[in-house]
């Protein structure tokens, strides 16, 4: 597996593994033994970058990742997140954001225990909290870095100006946001800002929450607990209209002897050398397929053709429910 650098010092595999879907969001959690085997299988195939968060589960995902990666301590990079309020009794999200410094530090201590590590490699603010100045957030993480509990600071779904303000207090190593052929919003302000400041970019949902794999159409039925049921872009009408994008990816896949998923990931990898996508999966054969994208070479001619075709496709539907969109800076 090839490697890439986030920020000035953090080297990780060119493709990471998003672990959220193993315990939440995309339907019922898979068996713990299967998830552990999948995560360890990723390590064996060269993946060194793993993404989790306290709210995935909640808590269950961090515990899973911690157990699965315990044998590889010091050989992998684990990213987790803070920023939401969780009910102390039920451990469920109350819906509120919380990035108060004292809360950030309490979350760090709890995450370290669940992950079975001495320091969090990348600690992201999960969503920007408008009630707490970003300077205070960055200052709290800076304290944690000075204490040796955190190695790198990250932001998720933050706007360009927020990134600048945070970076002035504590250098930001990585910004995580949704980015794919299905959602290219970061190209407007975020990517130029990160390039200027020397910050890495970690796209989540690089396969459009599965849509760009070509395995989903307007007739696909999701489990009742799957978050995509509430996403406007996944309404049957929007899926039907957006199949033109899937057709484009399929055409390029045929041309390159690859799969649609590999083309979608390869396209991201060609955008900038400091972009590290984190596709999620619950199946080993899909993991292997995704990792194969690192070997797919898209030429300038391929990229120009994709851009030309994309200019004629109008993607329909918001990428997130309205309430979730309000929590983003994009």
Instruction: Kindly report which listed range (72-76, 87-91, 203-207, 253-257) carries the lowest average pLDDT score.
Output: 87-91
Determine the Cα–Cα distance for residues 280 and 272; give it in Å rounded to an integer: 21
Q: What are phi and psi of 174, to 5 degrees?
A: -150, 145
Q: Please give the average per-residue pLDDT across 178-189, as a whole number.
A: 97
CA 271 to chain centre: 16
What does the alpha-carbon distance between residue 167 and residue 173 come to, in Å, rounded to a whole number? 9
- Cβ–Cβ < 8 Å for 122, 154: yes
Burial state string for 166-175 with b = 16 or more CB within 10 A and e = fewer than 16 = bbebbbbbbb
Report whether pLDDT(76) > 80: yes
Q: Report which of 182, 194, 176 is spatially closest to residue 125, judged by C-alpha positions.
A: 176
Q: pLDDT, tens digit, for every residue of 4-47?
A: 999 999 999 999 999 999 998 999 999 999 999 999 999 999 99
What's the pLDDT at 95?
Answer: 65
Strand 10-13 relative to strand 3-6, pairing: antiparallel
Distance between CA atoms of residues 262 and 256, nearest Å = 10
Q: Give exposure, 286-306, as e/b (b: 16+ Cβ within 10 Å).
A: bbebbbbbbebebeeebeebb
The Cα 4–Cα 86 span in angstroms is: 34
Mean pLDDT across the stretch 44-52?
98
DSSP state of 280: B
Sheet holding 172-178, edge to edge: 17-18, 49-51, 77-82, 120-125, 150-156, 172-178, 200-204
3-class secondary structure, 30 = coil
> Look-up: residue for tokens 């987790």?
80
pLDDT band at 93 (very low <50, low <70, confident <90, very high): confident
Which helix (H) or strand (E) segment holds residue 155: the answer is strand 150-156
Q: Is the pLDDT of residue 88 over 80?
A: no
264-302 pLDDT, tens digit each: 999 999 999 999 999 999 999 999 999 999 999 999 999
| Domains of the chain with CATH codes | 3-210+273-296 (3.20.20.100)
pLDDT of res. 215 = 95
Name the residues annotated as catalytic.
Answer: 56
Q: Is 140 a residue whose pLDDT tops 70?
A: yes
Stated pTM of the model:
0.97
Given a cut of 80, is residue 238 above it in pLDDT?
yes
Mean per-residue pLDDT for 58-81? 97
Mean of the per-residue pLDDT values of the chain:
96
CB 260 within 8 A of CB 214: yes
Tokens 């898209």: give the residue.
Answer: 298
Which pairing describes strands 84-86 and 93-97: parallel, antiparallel, or unpaired?
antiparallel
| DSSP-based three-state secondary structure for 131 | coil
């Amino acid at each position: 597996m090839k490697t890439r650098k986030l920020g000035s010092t953090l080297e990780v595999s060119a493709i990471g593994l998003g672990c959220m879907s193993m315990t939440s969001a995309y339907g019922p959690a898979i068996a713990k033994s299967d998830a552990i085997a999948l995560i360890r299988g990723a390590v064996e195939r060269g993946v060194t970058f793993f993404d989790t968060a306290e709210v995935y589960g909640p808590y269950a995902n961090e515990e899973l990742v911690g157990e699965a990666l315990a044998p590889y301590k010091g050989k992998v990079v684990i990213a987790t997140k803070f920023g939401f309020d969780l009910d102390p009794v039920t451990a469920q999200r109350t819906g509120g954001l919380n990035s108060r410094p004292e809360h950030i530090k309490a979350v760090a201590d709890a995450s370290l225990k669940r992950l079975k590590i001495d320091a969090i490699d990348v600690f992201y603010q999960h969503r920007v909290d408008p009630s707490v100045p970003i300077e205070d957030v960055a200052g709290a993480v800076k304290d944690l870095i000075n204490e040796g509990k955190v190695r790198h600071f990250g932001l998720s779904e933050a706007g360009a100006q927020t990134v600048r303000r945070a970076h002035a207090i504590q250098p930001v190593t990585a910004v995580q946001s949704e980015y794919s052929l299905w959602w290219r919003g970061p190209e407007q302000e975020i990517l130029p800002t990160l390039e200027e400041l020397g910050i890495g970019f970690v796209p989540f949902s690089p396969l459009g929450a599965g849509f760009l794999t070509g395995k989903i159409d307007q007739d696909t039925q999701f489990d009742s607990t799957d978050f995509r049921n509430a996403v406007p872009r996944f309404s049957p009408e929007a899926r039907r209209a957006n199949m033109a994008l899937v057709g484009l990816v399929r055409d390029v896949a045929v041309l390159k002897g690859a799969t649609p998923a590999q083309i979608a990931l390869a396209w991201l990898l060609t955008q900038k050398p400091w972009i590290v996508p984190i596709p999620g999966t619950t199946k080993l054969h899909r993991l292997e397929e995704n990792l194969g994208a690192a070997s797919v070479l898209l030429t300038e001619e391929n990229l120009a053709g994709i851009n030309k075709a994309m200019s004629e496709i109008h993607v329909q539907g918001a990428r997130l429910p309205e309430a979730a969109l309000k929590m983003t800076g994009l």
